[in-house]
Amino acid sequence: MIELLKLMQERQSVRMPYDTTRLITKKDLLQILEAGRWAPTAHNMQNFELIVVDDEKVLQSIGNIRRPVSETFIRENYKQLSFSEEELLRKKTGILAAMFPPAWRNPEIRLDVNDEDSDLSVQRPLPPCPLFMVIVYDPAKRAPASEGDFLGNISLGCVMENMWLMANSLGISFHIVSSLSSGSVGKEVKSILHIPENLQIAFSCRLGYPVSAQAKYIRVRRDIKDFVSHNNFGSKGVE
C-alpha cells in the first residue's frame, strides 16, 4: 500500500524528447495495456479503443502536425500560474509560470499565426518518442442516464491513470498530449491513423525514456483538511 501511494506521489508528466533508439519492450507494453484493460468503466461498457503507434514514418507524420497555441488556452492557463515558488506553496494549486515560454505568461497576448519564429508560433513540434498511443471512444454510446456522458469521461480518465501508473512503475515516462484531440488537428490524426469518422479522440500519450534528466520542479497539493468536510459541507477536516 505504501509503495502504491509513493508511486502516485511521484507520478509526473515528462514533456521532454524521449530516446527514439531505446524501444519499449513488448512485455512492458503489454503490462501497460493490461493495466488499461482493468480500469473501471461505467456499467463495464469499456467504451474505448486504443491505437499503438511505433512506426517511424507514422510517428513523424503525427509529429509534423501543426498544433496551434490558442489565445483561449493562454488566457485561461494564466489563471493557474504562480510567478514564484512561494506563491505556489501558498496557493497549493496550479503550476509555476517558469514552465512556459515568456510570451505564454501574458493573458492579453494576440497571436500572430504567420510568425513562425515567435514563441506563439502555430508550429509546436511534438517532442520525439519511440511509442505513441491514441485512445478513442464512440460519443454515441454513453453510460445510462449520464448527461453529457459524465460517467463515460470519468471512465476514460481511469484508463489513463491506470496506464500512467503502470508505465511509471516500469520506469517508463508518460506524457499526455491533449492538443491532438479535436478540431483540424484531431482530423489530421484521424486521417493518418484511419480512425473511423464516428469515433473521437479522448487523449493521446507519448511513452519512452527521456534523453536527459528531468529538471526538478516544485510540486504542490492541497492538504487533506483543505478539501475534506466531515458529515456536512464546510466542516473541514476529519476528526
pLDDT digits (tens, 9 = 90+) for 158-205: 999 999 999 999 999 999 999 899 889 999 999 999 999 999 999 999
CATH of domain 2-67+125-215: 3.40.109.10
pLDDT one digit per residue (tens) for the chain, 239 residues: 569 999 999 998 898 999 999 999 999 999 999 999 999 999 999 999 999 999 999 999 999 998 877 778 888 999 999 999 999 999 999 999 998 888 788 877 766 555 555 555 445 678 999 999 999 999 999 889 988 899 999 999 999 999 999 999 999 999 999 989 988 999 999 999 999 999 999 999 999 999 988 778 888 999 999 999 999 998 887 86
Task: State if pTM tops 0.85.
Answer: yes
Q: In this structure, is the dihedral angle defined by the CA atoms of residues 70, 74, 76 and 81, taken in order, positive or negative?
A: positive
Could you state, in order of their start, the residue ranges of all structural domains in the chain?
2-67+125-215, 68-123
Q: What is the 3-state secondary structure (H, E, C) of 163-186?
A: HHHHHHHCCCEEEEECCCCCHHHH
Contact of 206 with 132, CB cutoff 8 Å? yes
Place of cell 505568461: 105
pLDDT, residue 86, reads 96
Task: Tell me the C-alpha to C-alpha distance, in Å, between residue 196 and each of 101, 137, 187, 190, 192.
Answer: 36, 10, 11, 7, 11
